[in-house]
Amino acid sequence: MPEPTATCYRARRRASLPAPVVTAVRRVLRPSARLTGLGTGLLVVTLTVIGGSLDNVFTGGPGTLFGVVFVIASVLGALWVRNADLAAAPVSAPIAFALALGVTGESGDGSFLGHVAGTVTGLATRTGWLYGGTALAAAIAAARKLSAGRVRNQP
């Protein structure tokens, strides 16, 4: 009978994603070309207006789809802005939200004042989406700023 040997524990192998998937995700999260502050603002405004327009077509007004697209656009803007313009990400988010509501929101009686009133009402009733997207953009920008400073200060 053979002598018992020391027990060898095998390290569990983590399931990993295929290399093309990992590469694609890295390109989305950290693209090689970064946006300027103006480019970030235009990206967030454009995506938010498109989301509001689609939501307006399908449901008759800005709703959940509008909010989700706004939050995603805010996050992408914060991820894709260059380090020198990090402050543009949390600043462009509420501007984009207000512009998109002005374009796609309720128009009241169809007059200019009715449209302004509809936009202000939309801003008041959708504050959760507005604060959520802006807070996420600010958190991502702050984390990027802190990590860039930490990398630069290391010997």
pLDDT 10s digits, 86-131: 999 999 999 999 998 888 877 767 778 887 888 888 888 888 999 9
Backbone angles phi, psi at 81, to 5 degrees: -75, 145
In whole angstroms, give the CA distance from residue 71 to residue 77: 10
What pTM, to 2 d.p., does this model score?
0.75
In whole angstroms, give the CA distance from residue 119 to residue 85: 29
| Average pLDDT of every residue of the chain | 82
Burial grade of 70 (CB within 10 A; 0-12, 13-18, 19 or more) = buried
Residue 75's pLDDT is what?
Answer: 94
